Amino acid sequence: MTDAVKGHLVFACGESLYAVPAEYAVEVVTVPALTRVPGASGYLQGVFAHRGEVIAVVDLQGLLGRAAAQKAKHSRAVLVRVAKGCVALTATRVLGVTHVKEGGESLGASGASAHFKGPSPSALGQVALVEPMGLFDFLSQGA
């Protein structure tokens, strides 16, 4: 089995680079004022209404346990759409669309890390590949 090379939107959240397959990255938005969700996990920054849909904003650093002590407010997010819905992943900067070699090991055996693979090489540096459908399902379970 060979690893595919596909177009991905590459963005940073803190010091880490992430890549979402281009067909799932539908928009980069400026995060408006958020509505807090009582009792939600710490990585869920809140929700906002966007084009008639309620979108959850997920802090990737908090989700992956990389910045638990730092409660940064992110001004941008990448909207990732799968068949079941849409989620906004926080971004400190967007680097662009490039080809990324898919494959590699999951970043973890369970939890959110299981839905990221890498590191994977790209023209913009080593990235963690987001598996949109698995991540959406994980987040939808209220983990």
For residue range 89-131, list pLDDT tens digits in order.
999 999 999 999 887 788 888 889 999 998 888 888 899 999 9
Domain ranges of the chain: 5-140
Residue pair 70/24 in contact by the 8 Å Cβ criterion: no
Residue pair 50/29 in contact by the 8 Å Cβ criterion: yes
**How many Cα atoms sit within 13 Å of 131 on the Cβ side?**
19
Please give the CATH architecture assigned to the domain spanning 5-140.
Beta Barrel (2.40)
Could you tell me whether strands 25-30 and 127-130 are parallel, antiparallel, or unpaired per DSSP bridges?
unpaired
**For the whole prediction, is pTM greater than 0.75?**
yes
For residue range 14-68, list pLDDT tens digits in order.
889 999 999 999 999 999 999 999 999 989 999 999 999 999 999 998 898 875 4
